[in-house]
Amino acid sequence: MRAVLLHLALSGLVLFSPLALAQPAAPPPLEKPIGQETVHSDISTREIAIQSNFTGIEILIFGSIDFSDSRTPGEGTYDVITVVRGPDEPIVIRKKKRVAGIWVNGPGKTYGTVPGFYAVLSSRPFRAITSDSTLKELGIGLSDLDFGRYTIGDPQEQAYRSAMIRLKEKSKLFQEVDNGVTFIGRSLFRATVALPVNVPVGRYTADVYLFRDGEVASKSQGSLEVTKAGIEALVFSLAFKHPFLYGLLGVLLAVMMGLAGWYAFRRD
């Protein structure tokens, strides 16, 4: 058995162990067939309801690697990368400039398809798992995301793009979590994704990729729905579908509170 097998046990620790670094750089033996192992996964919560006490939520993505069809089970380096992606939305990014001593927003740049949420979790730093071209092809990693705007080669555009990624990362809407996928034993794995309070509503996908010696061996996809629920859903739909009624309700509530306050505190 190669020392690399330890990956399956405790990937987080293995990363820094000398054994992992001692992994031979030689290409995998040619006689080995393409792995036929499959990955199965699911999400702990299929539907997330945002209610008045919502302050963010953690979801669990779990799964297992099925070696049954593989001729040489457990042979090779196994890695898991999972990508959770929220609905795309158009976004405007602006840069402030100093005009007459005051900081003023400059003209904005619009990005047509920015994921409302995007997280990459991996069993070890994902850039070490596979080649850059494979990552790019699969759309894994913030630097390989397509935001619906051509930015390559333009340093100014590049600055806007990286500023947007930085801002999204700051609000936890973009995440890259190395070692975010933990193996339990040889075939079970789990990953915890923290959705912050400002997650957009809509359909989310959770892609789980199984890599074997740097090649995609299997893929599994799940999805979850983030919705507003209870009073929040009612308020939100009223505000956008019947805005006049909604405004009237706001005025009436305020008038009633004003009347109640006057009545409660009147002195005659």
Partner 1 sequence: MFQIYLPIAEISVNLAVMLGLGAAVGFLSGMFGVGGGFMLTPLLMLMGIPPAIAVATGANQIVGTSVSGTLAQWRRGNVDLQMGAVLIAGGVVGALIGVFLLKYLRELGQAGLIISLAYVCFLGTIGALMLWESVRAIRRARAGKGGSARKANQHNWIHGLPLKMRFPRSRLYISAIPPLVIGVLVGLLASFLGVGGGFIMVPAMIYLLRMPTNIVIGTSIFQIIFVTAIVTLLHATLNHTLDIVLAFVLVIGGVIGGQFGVRAGQKFRGEQLRAMLALMVLGVALRILFDLVVRPSDLYSIVPLAGL
Residue 126 near residue 191, CB atoms below 8 Å = no
In the complex, the smallest distance separating the C-beta of residue 117 from partner 1, rounded to whole angstroms, is 13
In the complex, the smallest distance separating the C-beta of residue 229 from partner 1, rounded to whole angstroms, is 11
DSSP string covering 184-209, please?
Answer: ETTTEEEEEEEE-TTPPPEEEEEEEE
In the complex, the smallest distance separating the C-beta of residue 263 from partner 1, rounded to whole angstroms, is 9
In the complex, the smallest distance separating the C-beta of residue 19 from partner 1, rounded to whole angstroms, is 42
Residue 218 near residue 37, CB atoms below 8 Å = yes
Residues that bind partner 1 (CB under 8 A): 50-55, 89-96, 98, 101-105, 108, 110, 160, 163-164, 166-168, 197-198, 228, 231-233, 235-236, 239-240, 243-244, 246-251, 253-255, 257-262, 265, 268
Nearer to partner 1, 38 or 54 (CB): 54
Residue 22 near residue 36, CB atoms below 8 Å = no
Nearer to partner 1, 26 or 170 (CB): 170
Nearer to partner 1, 125 or 230 (CB): 230
- Helix axis angle for 230-241 and 243-265, nearest 10°, is 120
Nearer to partner 1, 118 or 126 (CB): 118
Q: How far apart are the first and last CA of the chain?
A: 91
Nearer to partner 1, 10 or 54 (CB): 54
DSSP string covering 31-44, please?
Answer: TSPPP--EEEEEES
